[in-house]
Every structure is written in structure tokens, then in C-alpha cells.
Amino acid sequence: MMKKFVLASILVFAFTSSAFAAVRTVTLSVPGMYCAVCPITVKKALEKVPGVTRVNVSFEKKEAVVTFDDAKTTIRALEDATFEAGYESAVKAEKAK
Ligand SMILES: [Cu+2]
């Protein structure tokens, strides 16, 4: 009886979490990048965040385009990651799915 219940809750959890998980792409403005090495540092910091699947940093535009799974990470975590690497960032735009 108990085992069945546990199994059922695992299934429900797996179903609901995948139902709400979405791959999102956001553009973060990273104004503090001042040389050609900065984008590399920012990119590495963002790639370390679990759930991030793609990072594209543009030094010219001073922005980072990040694709991530919102079941695994949050925009806040992305901002924190760049901040910890020495760069403040803020969400500029989110691409519609
Ligand atoms: Cu630099």
C-alpha cells in the first residue's frame, strides 16, 4: 500500500515537473564588460549554472543571450552567476517561445 503511494507520487511529480518545465531564452544586459576577455568570463560563469544549455555573449552589444531550462534554474540564478564573476547583469528581454 505504502509503496504504491510512493510510486504514484513520484509519477505525479515527474509528470507535473516536466509539464511546467520550459526552455526559455533571455537576454541579459551586462554593461560592465570592458574588454575582449570579459565576454569569455561571463560565458563561463553562465555555463556553470545547472540547466543552462546555451550562452551567447556579445561584447559589442554588452549582452548575454542565455537559453535555460526553467525547471532547473531561474533568471535570478543567472544574474547571480554573472555577479559572482564580477559583472552585474539585468534582464533586457525574453524571447517568446
Ligand atoms: Cu575584460
pLDDT at residue 14 tops 60: no
Average pLDDT over residues 76-80: 98
Residue 82 in contact with residue 89, Cβ under 8 Å? yes
Residue 28 alpha carbon to ligand 1 centre in Å: 17
Verdict on whether the full-model pTM lies above 0.85:
no
Residue 78 alpha carbon to ligand 1 centre in Å: 19
Residue 39 alpha carbon to ligand 1 centre in Å: 7
Q: CA-to-CA distance for 57 and 45, rounded, in angstroms?
A: 11
Q: Which CATH number fits domain 22-95: 3.30.70.100, 3.90.1150.10, 2.40.50.1020, 3.10.250.10?
A: 3.30.70.100
Residue 32 alpha carbon to ligand 1 centre in Å: 9
Q: Which amino acid is at 9?
A: S
When comparing pLDDT for 5 and 66, which is higher? 66
pLDDT at 41 (0 to 100): 98
Q: CA-to-CA distance for 47 and 49, rounded, in angstroms?
A: 5
pLDDT at 91 (0 to 100): 95
Q: CA-to-CA distance for 19 and 15, rounded, in angstroms?
A: 6
Residue 81 alpha carbon to ligand 1 centre in Å: 16
- The domain locations on the chain are 22-95
pLDDT at residue 31 tops 70: yes
Residue 91 alpha carbon to ligand 1 centre in Å: 21
pLDDT at residue 95 tops 70: yes
Q: What is the mean pLDDT of the chain?
A: 88
